[in-house]
Amino acid sequence: MQRHAIFELRRYRMRPGGRDTLIDLFDTAFVEPQEALGMRIEGEFRDCDDPNAFVWVRSFADMDARAQALQSFYGGNVWAAHRAAANATMLNSDNVLLLKPAGAEPPFARNLQRAEEGNRSLPASGIVVVSTCSLAPGKETALAGFFSEHARPILREAGARIEAMLISEHSPNSFPRLPVREGETVFVWLECHQDEASLLRCRERLSRNSDWTDHVQPSIDAQCWRPIEVSYLTPSSRSLCAW
């Protein structure tokens, strides 16, 4: 299974009651056709704190492959048949970060194995925490390195599984029909927890770790020009990104 180098973190503002309708469309009509074109749906999520937010992650081999795959999908019969129903569930769909891996380790490594095994039938579970750090231009690589060296070991010891570390991809949008948040610099990490109790235990362990509270967390916060955006998500039934 090919490693992917380009990732979209997509957050949609839904009409009231529209989220589950869209998830049903994804699971019945959109997943396999996109992946047949070389894309991979890394995860689909409900926001635990916002019933009108749908979050998902899609990946591509590279920027050229992204342009070709999106043109084929959004210009094809599947989207034509279902776009009216999909668009009717949404208020907007342009809150999109274009990202790439932060370092050599592939994001969503467990997804590579599950995709190879065809294990979409496994039930999704757990809680995925997405943390987005907004940074000054050119600062993302340094923060990613600091996080990998100092924060990741502490989070792992506290019980979190780091699913992905991603930084901004600054190439021009290769498919302008779908807008992305251009001109931003971010570092994003996704961590997985078995359930809410596991998440709470992890946070309690972090609160008792003086290296985390006195050094690592303040150092990360100090590099961000606004508070870290944190979302707590639960994967949908077809999501690859799960516990």
CA distance 45 to 10: 10
Task: Please report the DSSP string for 91-129 in residue order.
Answer: EEEEEEEEEEESSSSPTTHHHHHHHHHTGGGSPP-SEEE
Q: How many CA atoms within 13 Å lie on the side-chain side of 37?
A: 23
pLDDT digits (tens, 9 = 90+) for 35-48: 999 999 999 999 99
Q: What confidence score (pLDDT) does residue 123 get?
A: 63
pLDDT digits (tens, 9 = 90+) for 136-156: 999 999 999 999 999 999 999
Q: What confidence score (pLDDT) does residue 114 get?
A: 61
Tokens matching residue 75? 């210009």
40-68: buried (b, 16+ CB within 10 Å) or exposed (e) per residue?
bbbbbbbbeebebbbbbbbbbbebebbeb
pLDDT digits (tens, 9 = 90+) for 42-94: 999 999 999 999 999 999 999 999 999 999 999 999 999 999 999 999 999 99
Predicted confidence (pLDDT) at residue 118 exceeds the cutoff of 70: no
C-alpha distances (whole Å) from 49 to each of 13, 62, 222 are 13, 33, 26
Give yes or no for a contact between 143 and 192, defined as CB atoms under 8 angstroms apart.
no
Closest CA to 103 of 229, 187, 202, 199: 187
- Count the helix, strand and coil residues of the chain and give each as a percent rounded to the nearest 5: 40, 30, 30
Give yes or no for a contact between 43 and 192, defined as CB atoms under 8 angstroms apart.
no
Give yes or no for a contact between 51 and 13, defined as CB atoms under 8 angstroms apart.
no
Tokens matching residue 106? 């592939």
